[in-house]
Structure 1
Amino acid sequence: AYHPMLAEMVPPQQRSMVAGINKCGLEVAWIVVLFVGMPWVTLYREQQGGDVFYGLPLYFLAAGVLLVFVMGAAFFLKEKRLDPLRPRAPLTPRQYIRDFVDQPMLLKLGFVNMLRSLQRTAITGYVALYATKMLLFEEGEFGQSWGYMPFIALVFAMPVAFAMNRLNRQMAMIASFVVMIVCCVVGYVTETPGMLLVAAICFGLADILIDIAHKTLSTDFYVQGMIGQQATTMNIFYGVGRTLGLVLVGATINYVFEGDYSVIWSISGVLSVVGILVLLRVRDVRYEDRLRERAPARA
């Protein structure tokens, strides 16, 4: 999530590191769900018989995590309510949209966020069906290839976060879409679990690059006093992408391509090209300022 606290409480130079730590936490959660939660669900189903209350252990696990890590963190942070910087008139839907549209760079980044969410959902939502129905992999074979994607993302998270302070984040996002194109090509021609593992590596690296670069670059353009509002709008773009990824891609697979799940790679590849074209009009102002500061020293 594009949490406003990243912009409110973290200095710009440290946002990449904090975003990387958050991404590590997310991947650890995925690993726990895949390798602890799912076996727990299977054991519970076998003991109870049938699918009654299927997934119930995961709900208890999620509730425990929320109690310990969310409420506990909130208690120790002792966050105090801030006084508003200036009084504002009641926010109407029209004004809400205008506040975001008036920031052209945020609007472009919002569209990129929707594209990457749509692309990510198109792959993660249907790659298991592609592997088991099209490639005839066993569930265990799929788990041993794509199931290790969270480990890949976890390994890359902090190195990418530290490197991001020195990189042009616009170019980092373009690179992520290029890596995703490679992922789509490998995924489309996959015939073995090993090839699917290569696609998973590319997917994990691309996901880390764009996640950290996009979140930290977006915070540079949030307007003081409207940070929470604009971060919420950025999350809406992501949510729209997820919805389109599940509904439209699923309908396309079923009704246009008659159950051919390999189309997810073609769709994602096209979205990568569109994302690159949009990013060509995005600027990393903080990176450009650093280059200008170094120029006199070199001269």
Structure 2
Amino acid sequence: MLTPTLIAVIGPVEAALLTTWIKHYRRLGVERFLLTFHFPEHVPDERRHELHAVCRQSGIVPAGSSSGPWHEYTNSHIRDALRHQAGRGWHLFADADEFQQYPTHLREVVAQAERSRRQVVGGLLLDRVSADGHLTDWNQGDGLDLAYPLGGHLTHRLLHGDPRKIVLARHEVSLSSGNHRAPGHQPDPDRLCAVHHFKWRTGILDDLRRRVDHFSTGLWREQSPAVRDEAGRLLAHVGRYQGRVNVADPRFAFRRVSLGLMPHSWPAEARAVHTAWQPPATSREGGQ
């Protein structure tokens, strides 16, 4: 059985993050990467060249590269074109700040899904932050686990965003924006992948402010106000706590976690969140 083809739209992340991300998924067993870069207008050429160089050094030829506004539907359009190129079989979906963690080998995860006649595998975001909640930089030599040792539920309990992810799907299964749902298909709630979410790093506040501004002015087109509202909630929160996430807030359930060892409580914890989550009554579903 072949391992799934990894499908991803890559934005202007740090070169070190993309390098670490590729190594992570290769360790999981991924053999085929179908990546497309998309860069908003403000991204300097130097950053673009660095990311292309990472791919060359990793033996990956990007499927494409584009620049321009990051409309809410941009990711979905590029993702679906990549899926068409990938062809038949299983597809794996991961943003560049998402590091998936499974209790067993990726091939066995797919085999389990096929035995149970499911066409998707689900995951749940586990937001990673620094020990004191500051939105810090990180050192590639030390690794992500040392820089962001805490994992918790920030996305849905603070931002009111959808923490559910479709991490694997058969080629014929359609996905919603942000890979949050596969209409007509339900993942096994007892076999949810932990999606370690390393979004809360240096530079994220500027990104969120730009997102709010560009969606508000119409420079970037949105499908609902959900994404903009989520960004606003994070900005308001760190504004109240001197530029950091309040890791002591019990709602977020932050504790030390690791990419090397899935939390013992994860299956029951993820199932409870996944089955109970509902979008805010005032907004439709939005992407992350």
Q: Which TM bucket (shorter chain)? A: under 0.3
- Structure whose alpha-carbon radius of gyration is higher: 1
In proportion to residue count, which structure has more strand? 2
TM-score (structure 2 length as normaliser):
0.27
TM-score (structure 1 length as normaliser):
0.26
Q: Which has the higher contact order (CA 8 A, sep 6+)?
A: 1
